[in-house]
Amino acid sequence: MRLPRELSGTELVSRLQRLGYARSRQSGSHIRLTSQLRGEHHVTVPNHDALRVGTLSAILAAVAAHHGLSRDELLHTLFD
């Protein structure tokens, strides 16, 4: 499955909440999310209108690794 091209930071935050992530703080235009599932995990999402593909890919790779999912499994969970 391909990465979405016009995904905003706010949309990604709402989709990551499905996996147990919650806003822990915001500093300027960056939102820090924390998950307590499978141990504590932090991820920072820029609150931009459209995330760059490389930035989105790096965030999703970190989330997939933490949850023990493949990239495609994570994409299906978040975007289907």
How confident is the model over 16-52, as pLDDT tens digits?
Answer: 999 999 999 998 999 999 999 888 999 999 999 999 9
pLDDT at 38: 86
**Mean pLDDT within 52-62:** 95
- Determine contact, residues 77/37, Cβ cutoff 8 Å: no
pLDDT at 2: 87
41-46 β-sheet, strand order = 21-27, 30-35, 41-46
Please say if the pLDDT value at position 11 is more than 90.
yes
- Mean model confidence pLDDT for the chain: 93
**Where do the domains of the chain lie, and which CATH numbers do they carry?**
9-75 (3.30.920.30)
**H or E element in which residue 41 lies:** strand 41-46
